Each structure stands twice: as structure tokens, then as C-alpha cells.
Amino acid sequence: MNPYWGAGFFEFFAIFFSRIGQFMLGQFSALSADEVQVGVLSCVAISCGVVGPFLVLKKMAMFANSLSHTILLGIVSSYLLASFLWGGGMFDLSTLLMGAAVAAFLTAIFTEGFVRFLRLQEEASVGLVFTSLFALGIVLVTLYTRNVHLGVEAVMGNVDALCFSDFRVAAWLAAFNALLIALFYRPFQIVSFDSNFAKTLGISCGFFHSLLLFLAATVCIGAFRSVGVLLVLAFLVGPYLTARLFSSRLSRLLLLSPLLGILASLIGVALSRHLLSVYDLPLSTGGIVVMVIGLFYVMALFGKLCMCHRWEKFHA
């Protein structure tokens, strides 16, 4: 019996924190569905919150969009490969990581190739690559699984269908991403800020660029089960943009962004539960969380503009 059944918005938090308290005191009971959702979304928020800032700073946001589409092809091809070679399931960690690598590789190779050898505008190259690879992915998925719903799910995710094993996978990915970013914080910082200077220091910009790409791919692929590949973009970009309005230190932003994402996840799941309990509306939790992220940004921007306006008027 789900302890959150029938709970409203504020009651959700009460139950949630009391259960955390119970967990701390060792009175552990099995995780309920809502907690799994919060858990997975928080892990996604952490992964995106540490990788997203660098993507935005390196002007790779639309490339991340591109990646999020080609992920589907990566997933399908690695699943086909994995099930053929060792009977791996679609959502095993190893299959996912392999799919991430395939997607990142294909996207980067083709985009770079079009720009350099076929002399195509960079944006057009990005666009051509991801729409065609995604279309290919959809066709393969439809043919192989005999329905198009997997394609739809890949795009939109299904938070409400998450289970504990998803939590484990998401947690591992979050730890993996956080560790790598923490370890390589300095090179990532300097490569994003001044790549020529970085090269003169002997830092290989190519290596870190590829690493960031791979991390972005793992983030997308880890998130596709929960929020889907399109909504993960909101996690990557939104919390960073919101945090940036308040802080200009990269180290702080790398802490603030995941926190904002986690907060949005909590509020989103609580809201979803509230709407279900009070209004009997089972809405897409993933979509609600993304809307909360959007709302955070709008509120933050409005707040900042009002503050600036008042500051100017005060000093005029």
C-alpha cells in the first residue's frame, strides 16, 4: 500500500521527510513508487546539473539536442548488438553505456565530417545529422518492436513506470558523472573558457571535448527511461540558466544546478501526487517536473529584472 496514496501537496513532504527520518534511524521499509520517482529524477538532476553547465558554456546546447535524438539509434543498435552477442536486456547498464558511446561517436563523426569535408554550415550539419539518424532510429524501432510506442516513450519517457532497478542505474550514472566532473573540474573549466590557452598548457582539448560528449550521451541515455530524451534537455540547460542569474562562479554553479534540479523533482512529484489525490488527474510526472524547471527560470528572471529595475530607479 503506497504511503502517499491520497496525500495532498504539503502532506507529501511531511510523509517524505518522516520516511527519510525513519530510514536514517534504521527502520527501513521498502521504497514506494513516489520515492523511486524522486530518487531517479534527483539522480538525473545531478547528472545533468554537473554536465549541463559545460555544455552551455561550450555552446553545445543544440549539439546536446542533437545527441538526445541520436541516442535512440544508439539504444536500438546497442540493444540489437547486446541481445545478439550476450542476450543483454535493453535497460542493462552495460547496454546503455555502449549505446551512449555509439550515439556520441556517430553524432560527432558525422557532424564533424559534414562540416569539414562536405563544407556545410555547422548548424545545418547538426540539424541534418540528428534528424536523419533519429528518423532511422524510429524506423528501426518500429520495425523491430512492431509498434511505434517505444519511439514515443523514448521521446517522452514514463516517470510513472519507474522501478527500483532504474533507481540503481540512475544512481550509478549520477555518481559516475559527478565523479568525473569533480576529478577533471580544472581542465573542463579551462577548456571551456579559453581553449587556445588550454592547448598551450598542454591540455588536450580534443580529449576533454570527447569526454564531455560521452558524458552528455550517458546522461541522455540514463534519462530516457524517466523523462525521455527531449525533456532531459530541460534538466541540462534549465537549472544552469536559473542559477547563472544569481551566481557567477563556476564552482558554485556546479553545486546550485543539481540542487535546483533536485528541488524541481521533489516539487514536481509532490504536485503530481497532489493532482492525483485531490483532482483524480494522473498526469505525466516528467512533464510536470519540466514545467517546474521552466517556472523556476521564469520566476528567477522576473525577480532579477524587477530587482535591477528597482535598483536603477533607486539610484537614478
Residues 112-131 that bind another protein (CB under 8 A): 114, 117-118, 120-121, 123-124, 126-128, 131
Give the cell for residue 281: 488527474
State how far the Cα of 99 lies from the Cα of 162, in Å rounded to an integer.
20
HEC assignment per residue over 37-78: HHHHHHHHHHHHHHHHHHHHHCCCHHHHHHHHHHHHHHHHHH
Q: CB 94 → another protein: shortest distance, Å?
A: 27
Query: In the window 16-45, what residues touch another protein (CB under 8 A)?
Result: none
Query: In the window 63-82, what residues touch another protein (CB under 8 A)?
Result: 64-65
State how far the Cα of 168 lies from the Cα of 33, in Å rounded to an integer.
14
Measured from the CB atom, the residue of 21 and 116 that comes closer to another protein is: 116
Query: In the window 175-194, what residues touch another protein (CB under 8 A)?
Result: 183-184, 186-187, 189-190, 192-194
Q: CB 44 → another protein: shortest distance, Å?
A: 13
Measured from the CB atom, the residue of 175 and 201 that comes closer to another protein is: 201
> Which of 115, 155, 171, 255 is the binder for another protein (CB under 8 A)?
155
- Compute the CA torsion angle 78, 81, 87, 91 (nearest 10 deg): 10
Q: With contact defined as beta carbons under 8 Å apart, do 268 and 240 qualify? A: no
Which of 94, 103, 235, 99 minimizes the C-alpha distance to 169? 94
- Compute the CA torsion angle 310, 313, 315, 316 (nearest 10 deg): 170
Name the one range near another protein by CB under 8 A: 35-43, 90-98, 150-158, 167-175.
Answer: 150-158
> Which of 181, 233, 266, 270 is the binder for another protein (CB under 8 A)?
233
* Cβ-defined contacts of 83-91 (< 8 Å, 24+): 91/165, 91/166, 91/169, 91/225
Query: In the window 245-304, what residues touch another protein (CB under 8 A)?
Result: 245, 247-250, 253, 281-284, 286-291, 293-294, 297, 301
Name the one range near another protein by CB under 8 A: 31-39, 78-86, 139-147, 170-178.
Answer: 139-147
> Which of 234, 262, 267, 270 is the binder for another protein (CB under 8 A)?
234
